[in-house]
A = this chain, B = another copy of it.
Amino acid sequence: MSGEVNIKRLAQELNISIATVSKALNDSHEISLKTKKRVWDLAKALNYTPNPAASNLRSNKTKTIAVIVPFIANNFFALAIKGIEEIARKFSHHVLIYQTHEDIEMEMSFTNSLLNGRVDGILTSVSSSEYNGTYYKNLVKKIPLVFFDRVYKDLDAYNVTTDDYEISYEATTHLIECGCSKIAYLYGLENLPAGNARFLGYKDAMQKNGLTVSDELVINYCEDESQNLTQITQLIDRHGPDALFSSIEEFVIPTYTACRALKLKIPDEIKIISFSNQATAQLLDPSLTTITQPAFEIGREAATCLFKMLNKKGFGDDQDIVLKSTLVKRGSTGC
């Protein structure tokens, strides 16, 4: 036999299947050591050179990637993970999920436990409790890693995010066009670029329209859920806003609950908008106007990025992928 030495040729010479040769070259546990040795010896003897893509794939030994998120009960993250899994399945990788509950110690401890070859790469959406840039600055040198949604902008890393500023600006403008002028802001993710961009979009839209952004109309998210209900109730009670702009999904239930308790009619007496990927948004009473992030697509994009890194395909220069969110107008703004 002569000509190109490829997997097919190795299979023919050894009288075994192409799949077996491929698995043997990938050092798969499914193949006996004896068979592997036969394949490796012949490959060496015939001076077999794997094509670059196959060779790079071979280095991904765990066939597993990890995705680290603050919460899985959040609809955005549940959908993003679904997107990640779709891509991982294409590359025959399992997806480990880990939730940090916004706890930076847990996040670092778990991430560190992954460094010893436990997974091929990591997709992460960082905790909002504090800024942890130094840790990640070192980490991105140690393992293929892609940030999605909650990112650190100043690192040499790939980030997949959404147009937080633009969509917040658009949503605030919608409230103003519906006649609102005293728009309260429920602030989440204040330690992260995403949170800051959302707030800035709101602020700029207010100022552009000659409206005041007052500190007393802004509250910050508390981990203690009952505290959020109390805060929102007090805000409405004391300052009588005509709209609530909720920058994270977690504010939706306390917001509706507060309005009910205060017997405020939505949208007649108060209008509500929230960032949310809740499938039940349309079934709420009244249906909720949402800023819907392309969560599934973010997961897909982030995973695609990671597999490009793993397979050493390169990306070009742009490390920032920004996807567009959608303002879905429903009953809670009602105009």
Q: Does A279 contact B (CB under 8 A)?
A: yes
Q: Closest chain B residue to A97 by CB distance?
A: B97
CB atoms of A94 and B110 under 8 A apart: yes
Q: Which of B101, B279, B285 is within 8 Å of A285, CB to CB?
A: B285
Question: Please, how many angstroms separate the alpha-carbon atoms of A83 and B113 in the complex?
Answer: 22
Q: Closest chain B residue to A82 by CB distance?
A: B73
CB atoms of A94 and B78 under 8 A apart: no
Q: Does A280 contact B (CB under 8 A)?
A: yes
CB contact list, A89-139 vs B, under 8 A: 94-99, 101, 106, 109-110, 113, 116, 118
Give the interface centre of A94, A252, A257, A287 by most chain B CB atoms within 10 Å. A94
Question: Please, how many angstroms separate the alpha-carbon atoms of A319 and B249 in the complex?
Answer: 40
Report A44 CB to chain B, min CB distance, Å: 28
Give the interface centre of A29, A95, A280 by most chain B CB atoms within 10 Å. A280
Q: Closest chain B residue to A74 by CB distance?
A: B78
Q: Does A149 contact B (CB under 8 A)?
A: no
Q: Does A181 contact B (CB under 8 A)?
A: no
Q: Does A6 contact B (CB under 8 A)?
A: no
CB contact list, A255-297 vs B, under 8 A: 256-257, 278-280, 283-287
A64 touching B95 in the complex, CB below 8 Å, given contacts A73-B79, A280-B253, A285-B284:
no
Q: Does A85 contact B (CB under 8 A)?
A: yes
Q: Does A72 contact B (CB under 8 A)?
A: yes
Chain B residue contacts of A29, Cβ below 8 A: 116
Q: Does A20 contact B (CB under 8 A)?
A: no
Q: Does A81 contact B (CB under 8 A)?
A: yes
Question: Please, how many angstroms separate the alpha-carbon atoms of A253 and B256 in the complex?
Answer: 19
